């Protein structure tokens, strides 16, 4: 977890990603997976993105890399707007992704060396076969795999080793920015710590910048400089990792944090669990105004009228709630 300077590397402005869903004969309705999300990531830092399943976290990551074409909004990388096909192609040499499922993200018909070398082949980043082989072995060394693994197939490895292969592949183009889409959620707890520590070491060694998507708040706190909280396609809070943990301002953030297990039994008993009422609404029929109001104990009629502005309430601490001041006094 490093944060080397204040230069903004990735700047997301009013990003929207809508999917048209058929709801009857010749009728479709937009599913607002990501709805007007803005944030920036500084060079060398890790921004953690958390929220319940289905809140739009993964869609944010995929849309930034143009795996989904953005419905609206701007994606700036290193001061340049990513817009044309040429921009996207150039951007993909500097930004890559580690996928959630190490079982389905690797081609079972390809050897480990061919999987890792795929980005090298696509972008023609070597001159000779020997140079290609040396680069593959170098990348395998970064993630703790040895040369004997190169000729084997993905099904011969455990989940943790498969994820290491995926991470090695993401490093092949010498990226500066990596979107990590729940990279440890499919792994055993004992393996999770090893992979998280490896992400930290790679960041220090290679000067990487991460968008780290997860639903496990303990994992996110360990690796992130700042944490952003999403709910139903909207950003509801953003602050430094310690600030979010010690002084959450949004009712949804408070509920998420109250569910984090505490190793000390006395503190755990003293902590009051905030249980949300009702189910998360469908993004197809999101509530008017604040999307969280249907499950919020503090909701007032004004919350149904308009979406609260995502604004800075103290230095570096942003929140979208009409009643922030009243709730936190």
- The architecture (CATH level 2) of 8-94+175-247 comes to 3-Layer(aba) Sandwich (3.40)
Tens of pLDDT, residue by residue over 81-117, are 999 999 999 999 999 999 988 888 899 999 999 999 9
The whole-number pLDDT of residue 78 equals 93
As beta bridge partners, residue 24 has: 27
Q: What is the mean pLDDT of residues 127-144?
A: 93
The whole-number pLDDT of residue 263 equals 66
Output the pTM of the full model: 0.91
Domain extents in the chain: 8-94+175-247
Q: How many CB atoms lie within 10 A of CB 264?
A: 9
The whole-number pLDDT of residue 268 equals 58
Tens of pLDDT, residue by residue over 240-277, are 999 999 899 999 999 888 877 666 666 656 667 677 77
Percent of the chain scored above 70 by pLDDT? 94
How does DSSP assign 51-85, residue by residue? Answer: -STTSSHHHHHHHHTTSS--SEEEEEETTEE--SH
Q: Residue 321 phi/psi, 5° resolution?
A: -160, 135
């Amino acid at each position: 977890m490093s944060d080397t300077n204040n230069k903004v590397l990735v700047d997301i402005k009013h990003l929207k990603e809508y999917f048209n869903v058929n709801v009857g004969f010749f009728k479709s309705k937009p599913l607002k997976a990501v709805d007007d999300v803005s944030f920036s990531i500084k060079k060398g830092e890790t921004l953690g993105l958390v929220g319940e399943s289905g809140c739009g976290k993964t869609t944010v990551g995929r849309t930034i890399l143009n795996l989904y074409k953005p419905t609206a909004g701007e994606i700036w990388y290193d001061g340049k707007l990513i817009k044309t096909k040429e921009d996207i192609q150039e951007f993909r040499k500097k930004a890559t992704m580690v996928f959630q499922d190490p079982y389905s993200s690797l081609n079972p018909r390809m050897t480990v060396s061919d999987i890792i070398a795929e980005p090298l082949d696509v972008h023609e980043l070597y001159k000779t076969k020997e140079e290609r082989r040396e680069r593959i072995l170098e990348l395998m060394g970064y993630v703790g795999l040895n040369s004997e693994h190169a000729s084997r197939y993905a099904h011969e490895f455990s989940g943790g080793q498969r994820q290491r292969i995926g991470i090695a592949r993401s490093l092949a183009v010498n990226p500066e920015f990596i979107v990590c889409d729940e990279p440890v959620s499919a792994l055993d707890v004992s393996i999770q710590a090893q992979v998280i520590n490896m992400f930290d070491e790679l960041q220090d060694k290679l000067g990487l910048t991460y968008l780290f998507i997860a639903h496990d708040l303990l994992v996110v706190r360990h690796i992130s400089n700042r944490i952003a909280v999403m709910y139903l396609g909207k950003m509801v809070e953003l602050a430094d990792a310690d600030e979010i943990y010690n002084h959450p301002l949004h009712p949804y953030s408070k509920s998420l944090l109250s569910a984090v297990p505490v190793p000390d039994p006395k503190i755990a008993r003293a902590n009051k669990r905030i249980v949300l009422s009702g189910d998360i609404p469908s993004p197809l029929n999101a509530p008017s105004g604040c999307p969280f109001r249907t499950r919020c104990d503090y909701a007032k009629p004004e919350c149904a009228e308009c979406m609260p502005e995502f604004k800075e309430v103290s230095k570096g601490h942003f929140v979208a709630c009409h009643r922030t001041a009243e709730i936190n006094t």
